[in-house]
Amino acid sequence: MSDMWGQGQGPRYGPGPGPGGYGWGGGWTPPPPPPQPGVIPLAPLGVDRILGGAFKTMRRHAKPLFGTVLLVYLVLGVLAVAAFFLGFLAVSDDVRQLVHDGSHFSWDRVRPVLVAFGVVWAVVMVLFMVGMAFIQSACTVVLREAVLGRPARFGAVWRHAWSRTPSVLGVGLLMGLIAAVPAGLVAAYFVAIFASLLGHSAAPIGLLFLLMLVVVPLALWIYVLFAFAPAAATLEEAGPVLALRRSARLVKGAWWRTFGIILLAGVIVFGISLAVRVPLQFAMPTPTPSQFGTSPDPAEVLRTMMPTLGLVMALSMIANLVVQLVSAVFGPLVTSLLYIDQRIRREGLAHTLELAARNGS
């Protein structure tokens, strides 16, 4: 697979001699459309093709995509509960002493509790980062098969995605380190504002606001510049540093286009979230004086509303899960399609993909 997705494979896609031209009768014959073995045509993609390709991939390969995300969420949930349970068992005596009526505050009791649950929080965050890296890699693997018009088999997706998860995780960690400087400046901004408010002095707030105007665009620029790194780490089997370099090289000259399409994908996910959640908010039952009188009994209100309230809450949980699944899958698919589009435009990847689709490799 690395041969097919390696750098600079195949002729560059662009205008040139081809089957289009003037026919025998003098009429102009349009060139044939580009081949489309899968969800996108193997040619430079417009916004409609990129977004449409993401939705087609979600529809045609729903089982490996959403099944993977659901399974990862389930595993992360079980591991998080187990970590918190083990953390509680380790300091259960101290917790009981702290919550016992009449107990006195003591740092000797509080310190082990804070340390234990701090360690648990760190472990859960690491597990979450690994899970998100695996999901990003799995979405890219499924998209590869969708572009080539091949079925995405669950086992094969898991094997390849897991083998590339360390590299994708390394990309995320490096991006976090790169973004640590602007993030630290943002944190310092809020600390300085809080300190100035406590000191009844608002003099530095204006200067700090100007600093924010520099820091926020810088962080956004870094995020877009390295947006293709997970796809490069998965498809090209590149290490974290090389994947970041590949992303920066492909985004160069197309930053605004990349930013605009990623932003549009985020707006679409936000719109789907509103479309799913807002009707449920209106469906949430509320007690009225005409139903229960001027002084309703809380227990009676709860008993009366429980059937409808339980149904709405269950639907709300399902809706939140659907929105989370869509947001976890749609974003990586769009950025991976943008990565493929840039490689088609700059490196002639369309020819290589066409040959791979024909040969079934």
Taking only the tens place, the pLDDT of each residue in 174-195 is 988 887 776 676 676 677 667 6
pTM, full prediction: 0.80
pLDDT of 355 over the 90 cut: no
Predicted pLDDT of residue 218: 83
Which residues lie closer than 8 Å to 144 by C-beta, 6 or more apart? 1, 235
Name the least confident of 15-19, 115-119, 199-203, 334-338.
15-19
pLDDT of 78 over the 80 cut: yes
> Does 215 or 75 have the greater pLDDT score?
75
The tally of CA atoms less than 13 A away on the side-chain side of residue 174 is: 19
Which sequence spans correspond to the domains of the chain?
34-166+254-359
Separation between Cα atoms, residue 108 and residue 75, nearest integer Å? 35
Predicted pLDDT of residue 30: 72
Predicted pLDDT of residue 214: 74
CA proximity to 350, closest of 2, 4, 3, 1: 4
pLDDT band at 16 (very low <50, low <70, confident <90, very high): very low
pLDDT band at 24 (very low <50, low <70, confident <90, very high): very low
Highest average pLDDT, of 93-97, 196-200, 328-332, comes from: 328-332
